[in-house]
Homo-oligomer: A and B are copies of this chain.
Amino acid sequence: MMKKSEEDVQLLEGMSSLDNVIEMAEKLKLLGDKTRLTMLILMKSRDLCVCEFVEILNMSQPGVSQHLRKLKSLGLVNETRKSQWVYYSLNVEDKPYIKAVLDHAPDLSTLLKTMEERGRPVCD
């Protein structure tokens, strides 16, 4: 087998770095939508089920489900079924730059509380 020249190695390293940049951009693209970013920030307070997102975000249930699917497909959230409800939770402990973004995000816990007080869906 032919030995790699230093230049080749450097090029290959450059390539894999670029792959990592692309992967990073894909995740950041998910944060670059106001609906999904709001969802992620809300999940800092607690896990939420789909119908809660529907109420808070005031959008159609399929719309919410599709955003959650994208977040799940890139590993930013986990889903847990609790009888009829599916709860979504943050999964960013091992993604430092996403965690950093969410740490600096505006606080939406007041908004969440407000919705809770106005009679939210039962959810268990």
Contact = CB atoms under 8 A, between A and B. Distances in A.
Given A28-B32, A33-B29, A101 B105 contact: no
A97 interface: yes
A58 to B, nearest CB: 11
A31 B25 contact: yes
Nearest to A11: B114
Contact of A21 (B18, B20, B28, B108): B108
A82 interface: no
**Interface range on chain A (Cβ under 8 Å from partner):** 35 or more
Interface stretch (A34-42, A44-52, A85-93): A34-42
Interface of A: 10-11, 13-14, 17-18, 20-22, 24-26, 28-34, 37-38, 41, 96-97, 100-101, 103-108, 110-111, 114
